[in-house]
Chain A
Amino acid sequence: METLKAPETLKVRVWRGDAAGGEFAEYAVPARENQTVLDVVTEIQREIEPTLAYRFACRVGMCGSCAMEVNGRARWTCRTHVRRVARPGEVLELRPLANLPVIRDLATDMAPFFDKWARARGQFQPKDAGDGAVPDDFAVVPPESKARREADAGIECIGCGVCYASCDIVAWNPDYLGPAAMNRAWTLVNDVRDGARGARLEAVSGDAGCHSCHSTQSCTQHCPKNLDPSSAIAGLKRSLFWDSLLGRRG
């Protein structure tokens, strides 16, 4: 005859507060064989604390909206199993993403993050149709060309902000564009159909741009899509160096 085992509990420390400040609150939820960090947050909100604010949408690693600081490191909570970040008996600690203003509890204001994509000229500008008109013909971009492979390497970014929250330079300089915006700029610098190379390189240069990156590679280390923004930023530095030296900048 089987004996009924009392469910083990998982202790969770959740940062509660808003832009003015806050503190950790402790909760206990049943520990399950298979639970993601997002499952835990949802359980707390549904069963214990209905006022807990957090953000999610797809729950399957496609939308990039559920990122938080899990035990001191930015992660997608929907794709992070609790047992991967906390051994049995260990406390789970959740904070809102670093380097972004807090709206409430675990929800941050992503506006500064996306504003920087615009400042880094993250929008595609067709070379042969400056007015936005549809070009007459398709551009031929050989899949094996070096530029195409560089662009492909960074194109899968879904803008979750994990790299931005992991970046020391953003923490030290609020104007710094950050890994995601410059990764986007690098894909466009390598897009042979794009006509704004000069202006884009100008936008990502200097202390608020690629030249402040120290290649700590926290962005590359933590990117849930395994992209390499650190190398993208290095590519921007390289392009700016040779363009300046060879007089290709306006």
Chain B
Amino acid sequence: MSLDPRGRSHPTYIAFILHRVSGLLLALFLPLHFWALGQAIHGEAALEGFLRWADNPLLKAAEWALVVLLALHLAGGLRVMALEFLGWRARQKDMVAASLGLAFAAGVLFLLNVG
């Protein structure tokens, strides 16, 4: 079934899509992340070897994207929890905007510190 985008352009729908896509990508990344850190089991040299391999612009960009996705998913999740557990029905659109702001801030902070 195809869903018509014309009735689905309001902020809370976009927030849902962002939350779902960020969650999906983070869930797929999680095993990779654990595998990479698990290199430590084979000693410091193994972990250092992985980190040097990952030290290139492409993977740095991917890391940046993951930080932004994580911040986005965190902020979007807080909005959903506020609605579900606290019944905050007012200012939902402002909360969507604040979520985007938090993800943006995390992305900028990462870029300012990386390298």
**When A and B assemble into the complex, do they touch directly, with CB atoms less than 8 Å apart?**
yes
A residues contacting B by CB (< 8 A) are: 69, 71-74, 98, 166, 168, 171-172, 214-218, 220-222, 228, 230-231, 234-235, 237-238, 241
A216 & B89 in contact (Cβ 8 Å cutoff): no
B87 at interface by CB-CB < 8 Å: yes
Top-9 shortest CB links A-B: A72-B6, A73-B7, A72-B4, A217-B12, A231-B89, A216-B16, A234-B84, A216-B13, A221-B10
A228 & B13 in contact (Cβ 8 Å cutoff): no
The main secondary structure of chain B at its interface with chain A is helix
Of all chain B residues, the one with the shortest Cβ separation from A166 is B7
B83 at interface by CB-CB < 8 Å: yes
B residues contacting A by CB (< 8 A) are: 1, 3-8, 10, 12-13, 16, 19-20, 80, 83-85, 87, 89, 92
Of all chain A residues, the one with the shortest Cβ separation from B14 is A216
B12 & A221 in contact (Cβ 8 Å cutoff): yes
Residues on the A chain within 8 Å of B89, using CB: 228, 230-231, 234
B6 & A71 in contact (Cβ 8 Å cutoff): yes
Of all chain A residues, the one with the shortest Cβ separation from B93 is A217
B80 & A215 in contact (Cβ 8 Å cutoff): yes
A238 & B6 in contact (Cβ 8 Å cutoff): no
Residues on the A chain within 8 Å of B80, using CB: 214-215
A217 & B84 in contact (Cβ 8 Å cutoff): no
Q: Given A171-B1, A231-B89, A238-B84 in contact, is the A214-B16 Cβ separation under 8 Å?
A: yes
The minimal Cβ–Cβ distance linking B78 to chain A, given in whole angstroms, is: 12
